[in-house]
A and B are shown apart, each in its own frame.
Chain A
Amino acid sequence: MKKGLLGVGYAVPRQDAWTKVTGEEKFAADYYPENLLWAGAKRAGVSHGRILRVDVAAAQALPGVVAVLTRKDVPGTNRQGIVHKDQPVLAGEKVRHRGEPVALVLAETREVLAQALARIRVEIEPLPAVFDPEEALQPGAPQLHERGNLLLRAKIEQGQADEAFKECDVVVAETFEVPFQEHGFLETQNGLAWQEPDGSIVMIVSTQAPFRDRFEIAHALGLEMGAIRVISPYLGGGFGGKDGATVQCLLALAAMHAGGRPVKMWWDREESFIAGYKRHAARLYYRAGAKADGTLHALHCRLYYDSGAYAHLGGEIMELGMEHAGGPYRLPHTCIEGWCVYTNNPIGGAMRGFGVCQVSFAFERIMDLLASKLGLDPLDFRRRNALQRGDKNCAGVTLVHSTGLVPCLEAIKRHALWTDREKWKQGAGPFKKRGVGLAAVFNAMGYGRGLPDSAIAKLELTPEGKFRIYNSVPDMGQGNATAFLQMAGEILGQDASRLELVPPDTARSLPSGSSSASRTTYTFGNALIRACQEMKEKLCHRAALVLMTDEVRGFALVPGKVRHLPSGRNLDLEFLAGLFPETDRSSVSQFVMPVAQDVPDTGKEFFIGFPHVFFSYAAHLVYVEVDELTGTIEVRDYLAVTEGGRVINPQGFEQQVQGAVAQGIGYALMEQVLLHQGEILNPNLTNYILPTSRDIPGIESMAVETVEPTGPFGMKGIGEVGANAPLPAIAAALEDALGLRLTRSPFTPDRVLGKMSQGAR
């Protein structure tokens, strides 16, 4: 039995902590019903080619194989994708990346499944392939799709960038390159599905977007959306990697051929690497200029995002990158150009930081280059140009909501890690060099214009007098479920034993957007607050009727009861629940995130997602020590100051910041999907190097608590912003330590040592 206070503004332990630690909490992967079948995909293993033949006879003949399906067995459009529906469920004519599924097997056991997959013979005529986004745009490059290799080309402009460069006293230019990054969640993509006697499909799946999954499955397989039920238990990690169909369409297709038996599909780690999508690799050409007094003046950048074989959310990810390409600074003249390009690499997709991690590296290094050229302190230079309320950002949107970068930078400036940095650097031992780096970043919240960022919360008073919240937005570990309970507990005056949370289930919860875009707690929280307030008001009114008081004033909810404070009389919630029919015991409320009202006359290519109006801000400070003999970088200390409005749960806030920093340190120092001709050379956790606890220092997290008046209890989302800063901060620290500039991440020891020996020459 869960007990304890549930309110807003203090550290409430995660409500799912105990059940997860004891193993009681069931993730999608934990479902093993009776009579289970296993499904698995045969993957192309060729980067680009024409399918000549898929011979499934030998697989079909294997005892224990229930069905082997190919393209011709797929009803509907056979196309999945969130915005651009360009990805086949099963490829029939062409394969565009090595992980492309060409056949689907249903088998009695995992062992038979593996044997059957090995027996499928796929004949593919290889086609010339292309693996670099800029090469893919050249005339004569191999074409992946009928409409070419260009997924989206867009431009965001304000002022007169070309003219403005002439007015700059200093101009710097640099090119940056970042690799594909893997999400590396513990629970790889999986789900369980079955077909009900009425033909409908039920799916328990590790997903960030249960409601949108229904659209994708229905569209791809020609089903009625209402005939698909998606249940989303807690996720064993997501980070954006489960925002969009992973196993969903294949699994639904399998369920349609399983005669009502439950089917499980669970990608192993290698398949997760090969078939899952990743943070986009990108190449970023930057030029920026400032006035001699330290005022930023002009930016021109060209950004190339490698979308891999399919769109996923590539265009929208590049959009967000472009909207952040000028950093959290006043920049009157910008010309931001972007190309999101198909290649025969693995699929690029959503990941924490959603296009912003890439450009953060570039614009923050550009800030350091400018500061150095101007002879200004990097912190003062940032502070001087930092966006404040009322300013226009680099996309031309006026910031009318909470805008707290300046206090973040000021908090760093006051901190001992900043004031004592020179002393610390001097204490480096033999063969060690120390450096300190700073980065200021921001990250938009919500979907942006063109796609309502909505949530619908439902709250119910149970016959037992408890409150049941129907959550619509999955908790992938970020702690939104606990935040929802805190908000409900705060408004309804109840402790944990009187609140229940139903996990997202399209048959029970109400349609809401995905668990993504730093919007989860903000949008659903706002809807929930309204539902709770309506419920509270209703119960006070009902209690007034029962107690025959003349007016509703003076009533309050206390644990288990409604109390009339003037008289001290109580009514048990259970008693009250019994008096009213079920239809009267619930409340439903919807919230839609506000959008920018001054849409700039640019970025016309984006039909959804542009622009955004809410941003969270952060300033990070890092201490690194570089070993001159090995090139190894050790992160020795870390300070992250984050502005995300009011903090609902300081513990959850700190965990989000620390997790984001850890992921960002991995991105800076070691994580990269190694590719050769579209083949992943390190599709496993042996050779894809994630940081361990030994690679991550103590991370001090400080919150700058502004108030976002539109937010639930004044909050904004901070799930992503912290991931954007470690890479540029560490790059700055590295340059501080060695006087060397690395423009290609990650900063592996061999690259660092190589650069050092070049520098020494």
Chain B
Amino acid sequence: MKKVLLPRTLCELWRHWQDEPGAAIYAGGTDLLVQMRNAAVHPPALICLERIAELRGIETEGDGIRIGACATHAQLLESALVQQRLPILAQALAVLGSPPIRNMGTIGGNICTASPAGDTLPPLYALDAEVELCRRDGVKHMALQDFIVSPGQTRIDKGEVLTAIWVPKAEGYNLQHYEKAGQRQALAVSIASLAALLRLSAAGLVEKVRLAWGSVGPTIVTCPAAEEALVGKRLTLETLQQAAALVRQSVTPISDVRADAAYRRALAGNLLLRLLAVPR
């Protein structure tokens, strides 16, 4: 049996952590507990963040939205603020895991797991989200794409926890689209995914575009060249195919038990073509 500590405040957290410096920090446990069952990790104790009041809540802050790191996927999905202001995140959450996983898993956990297949990550990259990291004596902020280094690796320092995600005001995007390709319709790990945010003029020209792909590289992949190829253009099959070709060149997918690299590469481009079919 392992000791599981359930702090209710950040103060309690620091105290527990001092007592159990080797403890694994977690929230929903949807990744950690699976790894422990597989004997991939053997933490001496566990500290669960999900009851810490400071780490919950979804609220506007300045121009943007602050999401507590321990907000569950289900809470985010139900949040009117998320539905209205961050529809692309809501789209991604709707296809994340399954209802039980969405009830347990948290957005902070999805970020700290740093899997290229994390479903919240492409939307958060496209939205230029920042992370808020707290340690006993201070707080710091960092762009999400700087925070995530490689699969399972982040720039979180010893003694720090991820406390919140801050999403800046979106730039008037009037086409927001998330799509995940997986091995089945639910409870699927992404084979490739795309978050696309576009602002189209009344005439249908692309004024601004942000694109981020999941599962086609060691971290979320962005492709400024593909974005540039679309700016100022109308969304036609030809334009999108040009951008798709650029994307296929810049992704670095792997082959694994779910799919091979060639399929992932093809998908990375193909998912972009879907923008033609998104109702707007």
Contact = CB atoms under 8 A, between A and B. Distances in A.
Nearest to A746: B183
Contacts of B263: 631, 749-750, 753-754
A86 interface: no
A687 B181 contact: no
Interface in A709-761: 748-750, 753-754, 757
Interface in A669-709: 669-670, 674, 681-682, 686-687, 689, 691-695
Contact of A429 (B181, B262, B273, B277): B277
A273 to B, nearest CB: 13
Given A430-B276, A629-B270, A692 B185 contact: yes
Interface stretch (B121-129, B166-174, B221-229, B253-261): B253-261
Contact of A694 (B183, B185, B258, B277): B185
B187 interface: yes
Nearest to A666: B184
Interface of A: 429-431, 629-632, 634, 669-670, 674, 681-682, 686-687, 689, 691-695, 748-750, 753-754, 757
B184 A634 contact: no
Contacts of B267: 629-630, 753
B186 interface: yes
Given A629-B271, A634-B185, A750 B276 contact: no
Contacts of A692: 98, 184-187
B270 A681 contact: no
Contact of B184 (A430, A694, A750): A694
B274 interface: yes
B258 A749 contact: no
A681 B181 CA distance: 21
B266 interface: yes
Interface residues of B, number: 24
Contacts of A689: 183-184, 188
A524 B6 CA distance: 56
Nearest to A628: B270
A204 to B, nearest CB: 26
Contacts of A694: 184-186
17 contacts: A431-B276, A629-B271, A630-B181, A630-B270, A631-B263, A669-B184, A681-B257, A689-B183, A692-B184, A692-B186, A694-B185, A695-B185, A749-B191, A749-B263, A750-B191, A750-B259, A753-B270
A750 B260 CA distance: 8
Interface in B47-72: none
B266 A757 contact: yes
Nearest to A748: B183
Contacts of B271: 629-630
Nearest to A632: B181
Interface string B80-122: 0000000000000000001000000000000000000000000
Contacts of A757: 266
Contacts of B185: 634, 692, 694-695
A629 B183 contact: no
Most buried by B among A632, A670, A674: A632
A749 B266 CA distance: 12
Contacts of B274: 431, 629
Contacts, number: 61
Contacts of B273: 431, 629
A430 B277 contact: yes
Given A431-B276, A694-B184, A753-B270, 6 more contacts: A429-B277, A630-B270, A630-B271, A631-B263, A687-B258, A692-B98
Contacts of B183: 670, 689, 748-749
B255 to A, nearest CB: 10
A687 B273 CA distance: 28
Contacts of A686: 189
Interface string B240-280: 00000000000000000111101100110011011011000
Contacts of B270: 629-630, 753
Interface in B178-224: 181, 183-189, 191
Contact of A682 (B98, B257, B260, B277): B257
Contacts of A681: 257
Nearest to B258: A687
Q: Which of B183, B262, B267 has the most CB of A within 10 A?
A: B183
Contacts of A631: 263
Nearest to B244: A629
A691 B270 CA distance: 24
Contacts of A670: 183-184
Top-3 shortest CB links A-B: A694-B185, A750-B263, A430-B277
B226 to A, nearest CB: 16
A753 B266 contact: yes
A353 B191 CA distance: 32
A669 B184 CA distance: 9
Contacts of B260: 750
A567 to B, nearest CB: 62
A430 B181 CA distance: 17
Contacts of A687: 257-258
A691 B184 contact: yes
A759 to B, nearest CB: 14
A695 B187 CA distance: 10
A577 to B, nearest CB: 50
Contacts of A693: 186
Contacts of A748: 183
A240 B189 CA distance: 29
Contacts of A750: 191, 259-260, 263
A431 B277 contact: yes
Contacts of A691: 184
A691 B277 CA distance: 27
A695 B257 contact: no
Nearest to A676: B257
Contacts of A674: 257
Nearest to B39: A114
A376 B262 CA distance: 39
Contacts of B181: 630, 632, 749
A194 to B, nearest CB: 28
Nearest to A693: B186
B269 to A, nearest CB: 9
A686 B184 CA distance: 12
- Find the residue from A629, A689, A757 having the highest chain B CB count within 10 A: A629
Interface in B21-68: none
Most buried by A among B185, B189, B274, B277: B185
B101 to A, nearest CB: 12
A642 B274 CA distance: 40
A686 B31 CA distance: 12
A677 to B, nearest CB: 15
Nearest to B278: A430
A185 to B, nearest CB: 18
B213 to A, nearest CB: 14
Nearest to B188: A689
A748 B260 CA distance: 12
Identify the interface centre among A674, A681, A687: most chain B CB within 10 Å of its CB.
A687
A3 to B, nearest CB: 34
A71 B188 CA distance: 43
Nearest to B183: A689
A746 to B, nearest CB: 10
Given A629-B270, A630-B267, A695 B184 contact: yes
Contact of B186 (A429, A669, A695, A753): A695
B275 to A, nearest CB: 11
Contacts of A682: 257
A183 B257 CA distance: 20
A634 B184 CA distance: 9
Nearest to A630: B181
A182 B233 CA distance: 50
A748 to B, nearest CB: 7
A634 B22 CA distance: 47
